[in-house]
Amino acid sequence: MRLLQYSESGELSIHSFDDGAIPPYAILSHTWGVDAEEVTCADLLTGNNKAKRGYKKIRFCGQQARQDGLQYFWVDTCCIDKTDKAELSHAIRSMFRWYHNAKRCYVYLSDVSTRKREFDDMLTGIPHRWEPDFSTSRWFTRGWTLQELLAPSIVEFFSREGKKLGNKKSLKLLIQKITGISHEALNGIPLSQFSVDERLRWKEGRITKHEEDGAYSLQGILDVELAPVYGEGAAGAFKRLWGEIGKLERCIQDIRQADPRDDKKRIKETKGGLLADSYRWVLDNITFRQWQEDQDSRLLWVKGDPGKGKTMLLCGIVNELQDSMPQNALLSYFFCQATDSRINNATAVLRGLLYMLVDQRPSLAVHVRKKHNRAGRSLFDDANAWVALTEIFADVLRDGSLGTTYMIVDALDECVTDLPKLLGFVAKQSSASPRVKWIVSSRNWPAIEEELERAEHKTRLSLELNAESVAAAVKVFIQQKVDQLAQEKRYKPEIKDAVLQHLTSNANDTFLWVALVCQNLQGTPKWNVLGKLALFPPGLDSLYQRMMHHISVSDSAKICLRVLAVTAVLYRPVTIAELVALVKQLEDVDDLESVQEIIGLCGSFLTLRENTVYFVHQSAKDFLFAQASDKIFLDSAEQVHWEIFLKSLAILTRTLHRDMYGLKALGSPVKNAEPPNPDPLVESRYPCVYWIDHLCDSKTKSLADRGSNLQARGVVFEFLKKKYLYWLEGLSLYKSVGKGVVSMAKLLSLVQVWHTESVYSYSEGWTI
Ligand SMILES: Nc1ncnc2c1ncn2[C@@H]1O[C@H](COP(=O)(O)OP(=O)(O)OP(=O)(O)O)[C@@H](O)[C@H]1O
């Protein structure tokens, strides 16, 4: 980028700077006069044509910049060498960014005068107003000036005498009236938050000298890049612009696997809502403040035992940052959950973080588009997705337009697949840039500590070492929960006091323990509360143990344990309809209410939200595997996987057929495929995506279980023979083709294992 500078003696000079080393500068916005009177790059380099009228606005810009403490300034007439085609093309593509990055933009209005005022005042005694001239100024009718108004954060307007008229914020009512652009856009809200149609409306009626510029001048406003091809005409330029907008939209849609904002909302609600007074302590915590204020503190690791409130703390921190960060800062976050295969792996974490960044600032998609244009959606979910995502992510974090950026990842310990890779990535990237600040949270796992140790600028916030603050936060939580219970269940004061007392003395600074006991008390009649209190032992595991015992001795033990066993090995939370289809024992329970009741009986471990069954907490699932596996899985977890695999293929064989959504036209885009009502595939969504995973995690890999292997081969062969294409159609309707491809690769490996273990038999002759 070239910049101008006036020396102390008033000498004008021009300097070139590389992208990473551009000093602070002011920028001029104006409308062109007669070409011959504008100062060109050649004029400056040769020192010719010093009498051109165009020097007036250059002098104005230089003086104003100096007054504002800026040494350098940029003027389009002479800072671009328009005779050099490559430079012109680069400048057109960079212009929005140059205006955006300028410290101040001065709009020089050569057709608005303030001096006229004094003259008119003398003649008529009526004060002259510059506003009418301002409203009809040529500046508001030109194409390129739209981005010059929108891109910089400070835009100041000057009359032809160089008198300041105001800025885009102080004049926003007037500017809105003239341009139809909303206050929010003039106040600097990211343009990506306005629809493409609205942004295009702002451009209506504006003209450009070259017809193609109508489209080229919109690229920054619409977050796309368009290399200029003068001569293609307006139609050609707009056609390419639409094409780029379409590609950008597809790219952002393809990155999106799940929106972390929705996951955060869901997690917060499933955990009973966020209590601000139970997390605000962190804002005054010395380690947290150091992370926030110190440039050299880039990675904060929040660590603590299960149920200490890390996830809720991070939800609170996200809210606080959202409210307090500067407008051009970015915030991206991800909440891992081991029980949900959409959000329990390293690739999903990067994809979620990237989605949030690109969604807030679509111009960052330029780093994704190079690869995405070639690979499409499979870039993010094929076997090489991790490698591609880490490269893209590193480019995004290096982007020059990135200001302060916050990256937050909760529950690293719940990243089931490729955690070491994720830790390595966080350690590396958090050391790379002082502009990017990271917070991660996890349990106190030595393996995580070891990896994060490699980060250069890290601090840690241990909840155990901040026991006093956590204890006070838990106390507030207990008080709020007990008030709520007492009010809803109309406790007498002595019962309320006893509950408060029991919770306070046994919670051991563990939020989750309090939440579980209160959930239990919710279903306890008030006459039984005092008797029941003593049955809630301190410590999470003891509490789970008691809950397990309660389920095991109940009349519904058999069915509840089965529901728990199946739910524990599923790869994502399932809807009630999916659960009923997968659990054989629920087949005869034909009404929804009874199923809900059964799930309620497992209530200490499971919870229902919007018809979907979730584990109350990861620690509940951990407990089932570690300490109750003999009770719930009976034989083994692999056996449960095996049964789900068989059940899945039975469901799919029954439900999959040709053109399940009645689309009729082959090749309809899947995004237009609306499920019929009722949806014929309501039970088969889960089996369609996960049957191979269950097969792989069942016993069939082992030669010892030859019988199962033979049975698996037979069932899989039959299924693929009859339903393979319909299965692909199902995957496509569920937008899970990428996952299907990965699953097929897994199946192929499994077949190869069978083969090498001599289970494969040519005489039966089937191949995959
Ligand atoms: N600030 C808060 N407001 C409301 N509820 C809270 C808050 N902090 C913790 N809780 C309650 O405590 C429970 C456990 O908290 P959370 O899930 O955040 O713990 P965690 O430390 O992330 O646990 P784990 O490491 O086992 O995942 C939540 O389900 C919620 O009921």
Whether the pLDDT of residue 666 is over 80: the answer is no
Q: What pLDDT, on a 0 to 100 scale, did the predictor assign at position 125?
A: 62
| CA 345 – CA 415 distance, rounded (Å) | 5
For the chain, what is the mean pLDDT?
Answer: 88
What one-letter code names the amino acid at 118? E
When comparing pLDDT for 714 and 409, which is higher?
409
The whole-number pLDDT of residue 655 equals 93
- Give the CA distances from residue 362 to residues 137, 147, 249, 259, 688, in Å, rounded to whole numbers and listed in that order: 32, 16, 9, 15, 33
Q: Where do the domains of the chain lie?
A: 2-191, 208-252, 256-465, 469-538, 635-768
Q: What is the pTM of this model?
A: 0.77
**285 in Cβ contact with 466 (< 8 Å):** yes
Instruction: Please compute the mean of the pLDDT values over residues 633-640 and round it to a whole number.
Output: 83
**Ligand 1 centroid – CA 277 distance (Å):** 13
The pairs formed by 171-176 with CB atoms below 8 angstroms and a separation of 24 or more are 174/131, 174/134, 174/135, 175/149
- Between CA 361 and CA 365 the distance in angstroms is 8
Judge whether 638 and 538 are in contact, CB under 8 Å.
Answer: no
Q: Whose CA is nearest to atom 5 of ligand 1?
A: 274
> Does ligand 1 lie within 6 Å of residue 306's CB atom?
yes
Fold of 256-465: Rossmann fold (3.40.50)
- Most ligand 1 atoms within 8 A of CB, residue of 267, 269, 270, 271 to mutate: 271
d(CA 724, CA 730): 10
Q: Is the CB–ligand 1 distance for residue 268 below 6 Å?
A: no
The percentage of the chain sitting over the pLDDT mark of 70, rounded to a whole number, equals: 96
What is the C-alpha to C-alpha distance for residues 438 and 410, in angstroms, rounded to an integer?
11
Angle between helix 637-655 and 685-697 (nearest 10) = 140
| Atom number in ligand 1 closest to CA 622 | 26
The three-state secondary structure class of 628 is coil
Other CB atoms within 10 Å distance of the CB of residue 561: 22
Residue nearest ligand 1's atom 26 by CA: 306
List the beta bridge partners of residue 5. Answer: 13, 72
Cα angle vertex 4, ends 3, 5, to 5°?
A: 125
Find out whether the beta carbon of 570 lies less than 6 Å from any atom of ligand 1.
Answer: no
Give the pLDDT of residue 122: 62
> What type of residue sits at position 116?
K
Assign 768 a pLDDT band (cuts: 50, 70, 90).
Answer: very low
Share of the chain residues as helix, strand and coil, in percent rounded to the nearest 5: 60, 10, 35
For 172-192, the pLDDT digits (tens) are 999 999 999 988 889 888 888
Cite the DSSP H helix spans in 376-492. 378-381, 385-398, 419-432, 446-452, 467-489
pLDDT digits (tens, 9 = 90+) for 145-162: 999 999 999 999 999 889
Provide the 3-class DSSP secondary structure of residue 6.
Answer: strand
- CA–CA dist 108, 583 (Å, integer): 73
Whether ligand 1 lies within 6 angstroms of the CB of 621 is answered as: no
The contacts of residue 377 (CB under 8 Å, 6+ apart) are 254, 738
Could you report the per-residue pLDDT of 642-652, keeping only the tens digit for each? 999 999 999 99
Q: Is 271 in the pocket of ligand 1 (CB under 6 A)?
A: yes
Ligand 1 and 619: CB distance under 6 A: yes
- pLDDT for residue 189: 83
Q: Report the C-alpha gap between 118 and 507 in whole angstroms.
A: 77
311 lines ligand 1 (CB under 6 A): yes
Cα 552 versus chain centre, distance: 41
CA of 543 to the centre of ligand 1 (A): 16
**pLDDT score of 109:** 94
Distance 600 CA to ligand 1 centre (A): 21
Q: Is the CB–ligand 1 distance for residue 566 below 6 Å? A: no
Does 279 sit in the ligand 1 pocket, CB within 6 Å?
yes
Cα–Cα distance measured from residue 94 to residue 225, given in angstroms and rounded to the nearest whole number:
9
Is the separation of the CB atoms in 644 and 579 below 8 Å? no
How far does the centroid of ligand 1 lie from the alpha carbon of residue 212, in Å? 56
CA angle (215, 221, 225) in 5-degree steps:
60
Q: Ligand 1 centre and the CA of 598: distance in Å? A: 25
Which distant-in-sequence residues (6+ apart) come within 8 Å of 531 by Cβ? none
Cβ-in-10-Å burial (0-12, 13-18, 19+) of 151 comes to: buried
Residue 337 Cβ inside 6 Å of ligand 1? The answer reads: no
The residue whose CA is least distant from atom 9 of ligand 1 is: 309
Angle at 84 between CA 82 and CA 85, to 5 degrees: 90
CA dihedral 303→308→309→311, nearest 10 degrees, is 50
418 CA to centre of ligand 1 in angstroms: 25
The tokens describing 210, both together, are: 């070259």
Instruction: Determine the Cα–Cα distance for residues 7 and 486; give it in Å rounded to an integer.
Output: 76
HEC per residue, 640-662: HHHHHHHHHHHHHHHHCCCCCCC
Give the pLDDT of residue 706.
Answer: 66
> Phi and psi dihedrals of 586, rounded to 5?
-90, -5
Give the per-residue pLDDT at 138: 93
Q: Name residues whose C-beta falls within 8 Å of residue 94's C-beta, 6 or more positions apart in sequence.
A: 1
Whether 694 lines ligand 1, by a CB cut-off of 6 Å, is: no
Tokens of 135: 């409203």
User: Beta strand pairing status for 330-335 and 405-410?
Assistant: parallel
Q: What percent of the chain has pLDDT over 90?
A: 50
Query: How far apart are the CA of 686 and the centre of ligand 1, in A?
Result: 28
Say yes or no: CB of residue 309 within 6 Å of ligand 1: yes
Which tokens is 744 given? 């097929």
Q: In whole angstroms, what is the distance from residue 414 CA to residue 581 CA?
A: 27
**Tokens (6 digits) for 291:** 């992370």
Q: For residue 573, with 0-12 CB atoms within 10 Å meaning exposed, 13-18 middle and 19 or more buried, which class applies?
A: buried
**Is the distance from the beta carbon of residue 700 to the nearest atom of ligand 1 less than 6 Å?**
no
Task: Say yes or no: CB of residue 312 within 6 Å of ligand 1.
Answer: yes
Distance from the alpha carbon of residue 525 to the mean position of ligand 1, in angstroms: 26
Given a cut of 50, whether residue 736 has pLDDT beyond it is yes
From the CB of 516, is ligand 1 less than 6 Å away?
no
pLDDT tens figures, 348-366: 999 999 999 999 888 898 8
